[in-house]
Structure 1
Amino acid sequence: MTKKKEQKKTTNNKKIIKNAIRIIFKFMPIKWMSRKGLFEIWEEKGVHITPVHFYEPIPYTKEIKEEDWKRKPLKEYMLFNKKAEERINKMVKKYGKELKENEISKGQSSFEHKKILYSIIRGTKPKRIIEIGSGATTEVMIKANKHK
């Protein structure tokens, strides 16, 4: 087989595979695509599939307007309080190890966020905490408060 015919055959095979994948994805529920077992298979191939969801850190790019891409980077608008940041880092180093991932319920917030919240409460010992939201972090705050 000539090199040109081999290239054409490879191109045709790629098209067939691409169309087959497109058909499979069209009928496959999104939950199946992002399941842990499948996620690991995709990841081995260098692909991360994440659902389009409010809590996902990856935006749905079809909703981003053209002018949004031209905006200045966010860091130009952010103000950092270095002293506060250093204080929080010290609290996390001191208290963060007390919180064990297997002792805390899952939820929408990550374990790292919970560890930071826990450490801030342990480090500042507030007299009153007002939580606004679903209460997913209440367990973390109660745990931190027990150490007073």
Structure 2
Amino acid sequence: MSGNVDTALSRFIAVTVPRFVQTGKLREMFPIWERHGFHVTPVHFYQPLPDTQSLPETLWHEPSKLVGIEMNDRLQLDLLRSHFPNFRDEYESFSTRQTSEGSRFHLNNDLFDGVDALVAYCIVRYFQPRLIIEVGSGYSSLIMGEAAAKNDRCSLVCIEPFPSDVLSKGFPGLKYLVTKKVQDVDVNFFAQLEPGDILFIDSSHTVKIGGDVNYMFLEVLPRLKPGVIVHVHDIFLPFEYRRDWVLEEFRFWTEQYLLQAFLMFNSEFEVLMANSYLNYCHQGDLKAAFPNLASWGGGSFWMRRRLGKTD
């Protein structure tokens, strides 16, 4: 019975919504729907949401040639082959299940896991930042906190408007928590990042008016000092966002397109580690560095403002 009701409601909505659009009632109804937590918009080329039924199947399998971007394979592989293995005893000791201490990182968490987690750990351990500012927090906070605790004089600051209990209570390596949307944090806050420090971004992943991604890419990144390292999460270049995320979960994310445009012909920033790219082009090296993982796909993208470059 419930299935029949759902079908009937869907058909009713499909018939009635066009009437609102065609009669000019959309302006009146849009704020009402928005107050109830929904946006109802027409399928139209001016809308940011794609017409999913028109997306070709080839879209998900053809890699971008990343024109205008130097992927820095030599540097990526040098880190992977020559430096990250120095921390193998440490990163292979992580538990694969949650411990009684909820404030400790563990693998198999399905959120910030596998290659992304271990690369983040190694980058913090190798580059020895004095300060890490993390935008968007979770398991990534825990593993960077573990690495920060092993380094000398490394502080982790998290910006998270909706913190979990673990984050609110604190954990080893965390200096303090900022409970604001990042776009409400003054841009000068990021001026404290010095060469070798890390700005770790795990955002809403959506380019939109007044959004966090716009703020980070258009206001914060251009002001960073030379030598500051930047992480952006859920970047699948040279490929599209995951097919199942788009067509089944309706995640219409756009951040990686802005990142790709940001890096094209950009001599100010250099690629440090691009996990999805490495899995596509150099999977054997990922396997050699992290042999005990079940898979080697990832979505972390690391870059750095070049030393010697300034505004």
Structure having the higher strand fraction is 2
Larger relative contact order (Cα-Cα within 8 Å, sequence gap ≥ 6): 2
Structure with the larger helix share: 1
Work out which of the two has the higher radius of gyration on C-alpha atoms and give 1 or 2.
1
Q: TM-score, normalised by structure 1?
A: 0.47
